Amino acid sequence: MEQGRSQQLFEQAQRVIPGGVNSPVRSFRAVEGTPPFIARGAGAHVWDVDGNEYIDYLGSWGPLALGHAHPAVVEAVQRAAADGTSFGAPVEQEVELAEMICAALPSVELVRLVNSGTEACMTALRLARAYTGRSKIVKFAGNYHGHADGLLVAAGSGALTHGIPTSAGVPESYAAETLIATFNDIASVEGLFEAWPEDIAAVIVEPIAGNMGVVPPADGFLEGLRQVTETRGALLIFDEVITGFRVAYGGAQTLFGITPDITTMGKIIGGGLPVGAYGGRNEVMQQVAPLGPMYQAGTLSGNPLAVAAGVATLTELQRPGVYEQLESTGIRLIDGVNAAFARAEVPSTVNRVASMFTGFFNAGPVSALAEVEQSDTAAYGRYMHALLERGVYIAPSQFEAGFVSIAHTDADIDRTIVAVGDALAALG
Ligand code: PMP
């Protein structure tokens, strides 16, 4: 595989950007090697600067449910850009996106648009604290909610991959406000409420964990969270940054029929441009400035480019059959991958919910962080490189989700399954 241009760019990048990347998850440190620099994408495919083509399962880490450069999104962004990129004053399109979000998510009556999932989750905590007058937060080890200080405690995703789940630079006094529970273990949450009955403002959870690899909620886990938070006067925050508009148009809360108090979103609602959002029921959102005393703002929030991409994306996702197609594409991929691993006699467990999945190098079951961590990450790294050489791009970390889009064709999936078989054979 030719990598000369990527290598050259990576060397240049490392001279001016920490680690050569603007987000650690893009780094190949955990799996070694040089990340391909991507030149362009179309549908389910991307091409790097050396001309190598890949079937892409990163999907920009979740936003691209329609695939790359979907014509409706490109056209919407171009049209919006021609009329000006930012005004710092209200625009019509942001109302449209907010209306679409409120219509889609049963728990969201009012929504505020921001610029990233990080901002959304950071603000959701502030909102929960403002509403309850309490200071502590419960989060789950291995869940990732962006890089706000109080959430970089026992975090997943790149923080887990690079061995820094609790970041340097977070004051201990502040980290102490974040209590850590065990995903899929309701007793661990109840124990924290026993210890801090009057202090917990909110429990924040990825309703389907994606940032320690995909781990679905155990039966009754989300119901248990709903119940214990309600009983104890705390708010339940669903981080639907990945799952919103992905596992169902109405997100995980619709899939599982649970109503959180606050929902955070990002990724798909921006169609590949920087957008995040947090929303909830009217009474809670009344805290948000200028209605209430909880301050949050943004120069570029709701800017016409980002919201145009979001509206175009959600409009396409409303077409009949889209989620059925995502589901059947996911099934086709995972059935084929499972069969290839079985043929190669490599112990593995594939967790999948709708169009999000992770193949663990682990005989399984993988239903908790402790089990995730038993995966053979070195084997994963070799496998990931063997796939890359065969034109298939998966995350450069075992602890991440992969995504299929509506642009992945049966032919793409079948080519991928062949590549998986060949990669496993080559690794012996
Ligand atoms: N929450 C979840 C569940 C995420 O997966 C991510 C990003 N991977 C975030 C929050 C943070 O979003 P962003 O990277 O847009 O700040």
Determine the distance separating the centroid of ligand 1 and the alpha carbon of 340, expressed in angstroms: 31
User: Is ipTM strictly over 0.85?
Assistant: yes
- State whether the beta carbon of 158 lies less than 6 angstroms from ligand 1: no
pLDDT at 125: 98
pLDDT tens column, 120-177: 999 999 999 999 999 999 999 999 999 999 999 999 999 999 888 899 999 999 999 9
Ligand 1 atom closest to Cα of residue 266: 15
420 with 392: CB under 8 angstroms? yes
pLDDT tens column, 32-60: 999 999 999 999 999 999 999 999 999 99
- State whether the beta carbon of 405 lies less than 6 angstroms from ligand 1: no
Break the chain into its structural domains and give their ranges: 4-69+320-427, 71-317
* Axis crossing angle, helix 410-427 with helix 377-389, rounded to the nearest 10: 120
| CB-facing half-sphere around the CA of 14: CA atoms within 13 A | 11
pLDDT at 139: 98
Catalytic hit among 249, 267, 393, 412: 267
Ligand 1 atom closest to Cα of residue 276: 15
Catalytic hit among 239, 278, 380, 412: 239
| Record: fold of 71-317 | Aspartate Aminotransferase; domain 2 (3.40.640)
262 with 127: CB under 8 angstroms? yes
**DSSP annotation string for 125-169:** HHHHHHHH---EEEEETT----S-GGG-SS--THHHHTT-SS-TT
- Whether 239 is a known active-site residue: answer yes
CA distance 351 to 211: 13
pLDDT at 165: 87
Largest CA distance in the chain: 62
Ligand 1 atom closest to Cα of residue 25: 8
Ligand 1 atom closest to Cα of residue 143: 3
pLDDT at 428: 84
* Positions of the chain with pLDDT lower than 70, given as ranges: none
Q: What are phi and psi of 111, to 5 degrees?
A: -135, 140
202 with 229: CB under 8 angstroms? yes
Q: Which two tokens stand for residue 337?
A: 């991958």
- State whether the beta carbon of 238 lies less than 6 angstroms from ligand 1: no
Choose one of 26, 267, 353 to mutate for the ligand 1 pocket test, by most ligand atoms within 8 angstroms of C-beta: 267
- State whether the beta carbon of 305 lies less than 6 angstroms from ligand 1: no
Q: What distances in angstroms separate CA 8 from CA 2, 4, 20, one per listed residue?
A: 12, 6, 11
- State whether the beta carbon of 239 lies less than 6 angstroms from ligand 1: yes
pLDDT at 1: 87
Determine the distance separating the centroid of ligand 1 and the alpha carbon of 197, expressed in angstroms: 29
Atom 7, ligand 1: which residue's CA is nearest?
Answer: 146
- State whether the beta carbon of 56 lies less than 6 angstroms from ligand 1: no
- State whether the beta carbon of 279 lies less than 6 angstroms from ligand 1: no
Catalytic hit among 57, 131, 144, 393: 144
Determine the distance separating the centroid of ligand 1 and the alpha carbon of 118, expressed in angstroms: 6
Q: What are phi and psi of 403, to 5 degrees?
A: -135, 140
242 with 25: CB under 8 angstroms? no
Q: What distances in angstroms separate CA 173 from CA 128, 135, 198, one per listed residue?
A: 19, 12, 19
pLDDT at 13: 98
Taking phi over 0 as left and psi of -120 to 50 as alpha, with beta for the rest, 37 belongs to: beta
Using a cut of 0.95, tell me whether the model's pTM lies above it.
yes
| Record: fold of 4-69+320-427 | Aspartate Aminotransferase, domain 1 (3.90.1150)
